[in-house]
Amino acid sequence: MNNAGKGMIGCGALLLGLCGLAVLFFGFHVFIDPRGGISDDEAMPGFLGGILCGFVNFFVIAVGIFLATRKAEAASGGSAPGVPGGAAPKPFPMHFVSGCGALLLLTLSCVPLGVGAMFWQDADRYDRYAEEDRREGRDDPYFGASHYERRAEEYRNYTAGGCCCASFLLLVGLGAIGGTVRLAQKHRAAVASG
């Protein structure tokens, strides 16, 4: 098995394990404990995002297996193993590992965006409640218009936090893509010179 295939399979398997833990955690709050500390509505974006990341990691593993089997078939058609004077081993392709990390970061940036959209809808709902209570003259500090306005502001802050988190993950993912391109260029130069 060549280094590229090993790198992609190992990285994909590690990320798939992390996504599996996230799916189990959020799935527990969606299906088993929907009214616990984290409600099912709050946990659903994380559950769906974990499944999406899992599919991406399955694709990474499949590509790694394809590269490994293709390189193994090409190597079996060359010189016999153990013959002295063979080609030197290629350097480890770090650009595959950084590429997998960049792909995961870009995929994970969708999760806080989805959560932020959900919180924005909640803020709109509380704004409607507050408007209805003000029209009907109800302004109880615990259940009236003031309470709903505070809740709407709280959910708008959550939305801003989700957008900031998504922007951070997106910027780091784009930076990782740039680093992946640089590592790929260095790897290609090292292979060509070796």
Residue 116: domain span: 94-194
Are 105 and 169 in a shared domain?
yes
116 class by beta-carbon count within 10 Å (0-12 exposed, 13-18 middle, 19+ buried): buried
Q: Domain ends where: 52, 79, 106?
A: 79
Residue given tokens 């390189």 in the structure block: 71
Q: Domain ends where: 53, 79, 105?
A: 79
Are 100 and 187 in a shared domain?
yes
Are 66 and 153 in a shared domain?
no
Are 72 and 107 in a shared domain?
no
Domain contains 89: no
Domain contains 86: no
Domain contains 124: yes
Are 100 and 71 in a shared domain?
no
**Helices within 31-144 (DSSP H only):** 40-76, 94-108, 110-135
What's the structural domain count of the chain?
2
pLDDT at 15: 79
What is the pTM for the complete model shown? 0.58
Domain contains 88: no
Are 73 and 98 in a shared domain?
no
Are 100 and 74 in a shared domain?
no
Domain contains 87: no
Amino acid at 86: G
Are 40 and 118 in a shared domain?
no
pLDDT at 51: 84
Render each residue's pLDDT in the chain as its tens digit; 194 residues: 566 777 778 777 887 888 888 888 888 888 888 877 777 877 887 788 788 878 887 888 888 888 778 765 666 555 444 444 455 667 777 777 788 778 778 777 877 887 788 888 888 988 998 888 888 877 666 677 888 888 899 889 988 988 898 899 889 989 988 888 898 888 888 888 86
Are 181 and 99 in a shared domain?
yes
Domain contains 174: yes
Are 20 and 106 in a shared domain?
no
pLDDT at 54: 82
Alpha-carbon Rg for the chain, nearest whole angstrom, is: 25
194 CB neighbour count, 10 Å cutoff: 10
pLDDT at 5: 76
pLDDT at 80: 44
Q: Domain ends where: 55, 79, 103?
A: 79
DSSP-based helix, strand, coil % in the chain, nearest 5: 80, 0, 20
Q: Rounded to whole angstroms, how far apart are CA atoms 44 and 49?
A: 8
User: What tokens appear for 17 in the block?
Assistant: 């394990």
Q: Rounded to whole angstroms, how far apart are CA atoms 18 and 9?
A: 14
